[in-house]
Structure 1
Amino acid sequence: MLQKWSPKEDIILIGAWLNTSKDPIVSNEQKGGAFWKRIVEYYNASPLLVGTIPRELGPCKQRWSRINDHVSKFCGCYDRALRQQRSGQNDDHVMKAALDSFFTIMNLKFTMDHCWKELRYDQKWCSLVQGKDTVKEKRKVVDIDGEEAAVGEPEARPPGVKAAKAALKKKMNGREQELSNLHGALEIKEKLSRQKLLDRLFA
């Protein structure tokens, strides 16, 4: 008998996938089998799952595939609904339109809103969904009535080392210019004071 997945288990699986894929030490040097073995180990080690039956690699991989597919399609539906939002419509209207679009495409209700909330702005997940093989152009998530929709806005990416150094240098250059201007003004003031003193002595 198949063991049904609960929302809590979905969140833990998503966390396991994200943490394993973002590992700065192993990074992209992970083969598929080893990658998923680590995800399953991470998942089963969660203290939130104490007392539950451990999951095996196959079911974890299948569940992630389903989550990934459904959430990426829903992101496209939601993005399209946002772009079509009319004046006076609130977030509830956008969500309803997105859910309706998803149902039209998949012929089933979207029941993974808990997964969507976890993934929709995650930079790593969004970059993979948008396509590994696209350099100039983002891969669109879903096609609805001939119109393509992309994944929502990802997390803001922190500046790189070079960009940070350049910004700091620019800031320092600005301060040096201010100091230079200040020194110039002080020199002029000092000259004027000396001139006034000389004038008084001659007088």
Structure 2
Amino acid sequence: MGKKTNWTLAEDQTLCRAWLNASDLQLQSSDQKPASFWNVVRQLFHDEVETTVERPLTGLKIRWTRINRDVQKFAKLFAKVHDLTTAAGAAAATVGSGGEAGNAAAAVESVTEQQCIDEAKEQFFKMHATKFVFEGCWKQLRYSTKWLQLLANSTGIPVLSLSSANPFLTADEMSGLGSSPSPQPVLPVASGPD
């Protein structure tokens, strides 16, 4: 076996694009089997990536598994940060626009998405003792219908709307997910009759 070469950020992002494009092709060709799906991913990856390193099919699958696992974990943390920020802003805004409450609302409203991302990265590091290095991959995957379906299918939690502009769970919905070792999705859930 040869020497392993570290993956670059560009390769990671190319792998995500290849996975998404192969998923789109799979939707068009309903008889595609998993083996042929990954062969398509491999072909798309090597057609696009600018590297002399030949990534074997097994290597692509292993890397995708790691990317997907970490992106799911990060997405959950980002959703919590985003939800808490949004909830705090809404609560402060309802108290009134004057005095300290008004200042709190203005401060919360000025929190940017990048600040939420940075906070989620800090939490990821605290929880997993490693940096989150797949931000570019997360940005590619986070609104993808196919990836959202993958999240829903991997956990059995129903998706309210795959085209939702806000594919995040609320804090209450997250607290009901429990603490199973498998990654949890960051999706709106449908509430059904009890």
Q: Same fold, TM exceeding 0.5?
A: yes
Hey, what does 1:161 align to over in structure 2?
Answer: none
Contact 2:67 / 2:134 at 8 angstroms: preserved in 1? Answer: yes
Structure 1: segments with no counterpart, 5+ residues: 154-203
Distance in 2, matches of 1:37 and 1:2, equals: 21
> In the superposition, relative to structure 1, how do residues 137 and 127 fare at CA in structure 2: closer, same or farther (>3 Å)?
closer
Aligned to 2:58: 58
Hey, what does 2:147 align to over in structure 1?
A: 125
Deviation at 1:60, TM superposition (A): 0.6
Does the CA-based 8 Å contact 1:120-1:152 persist in structure 2?
A: no
Which of 144, 151, 154 lines up with 2:186 in the alignment?
151
Structure 1 length normalisation: TM-score?
0.62
Structure 2 unaligned regions, length at least 5: 89-104, 161-167, 178-183, 189-194
SS of equivalent residue, structure 2 residue 153: coil
Give the partner amino acid of 1:4.
N
CA distance, structure 1, for counterparts of residue 122 and residue 18 of structure 2: 30
User: Deviations 1:118-177 (Å, cap 9, x if unpaired)?
Assistant: 111111101111225737467x99x9xx83475268xxxxxxxxxxxxxxxxxxxxxxxx
Larger Cα-atom Rg:
1
Question: AA paired with 2:77?
Answer: C
Paired residue for 1:70? 70
Mapping 1:34-183, distance limit 5 Å: 34-46=36-48, 48-49=49-50, 52-85=52-85, 86=88, 87=105, 88-89=107-108, 90-91=111-112, 92-131=114-153, 134=156, 136=158, 147=175, 148=177, 150-151=185-186
Letter in structure 1 aligned against 2:128: M
Indicate conservation of the 8 Å contact 1:75/1:152, yes or no: no
Q: Is the 8 A contact 2:159 2:187 kept in 1?
A: no
**2:180 equivalent in structure 1:** none
Check conservation: 1:79, 1:150, Cα contact below 8 A. no
After the TM superposition, which parts of structure 1 deviate over 6 Å for at least 4 consecutive aligned residues?
none
Q: CA RMSD in A?
A: 2.8
- Residues 135 and 118 of structure 1: is their aligned pair in 2 closer, same or farther, counting only changes over 3 Å? closer
AA of the residue aligned to 1:151: V
Question: Which one has more relative contact order, counting CA pairs under 8 Å at least 6 apart?
Answer: 2
Task: Provide the C-alpha distance between the structure 2 equivalents of 1:13 and 1:44, rounded to a whole number of angstroms.
Answer: 9
Match in the other structure for 1:22: 24
Residues 72 and 185 in structure 2, CA contact (< 8 A), matched pair in contact too: no
* Residue 114 of structure 1: how far off its partner (Å): 0.9
Does the CA-based 8 Å contact 1:20-1:35 persist in structure 2?
Answer: yes
Q: Aligned partners of 1:129, 1:71: CA distance in 2, in Å? A: 11
Which whole-Å CA distance do the structure 2 matches of 1:14 and 1:63 have between them? 10
In 2, the alpha carbon distance for the partners of 1:117 and 1:133 equals 21
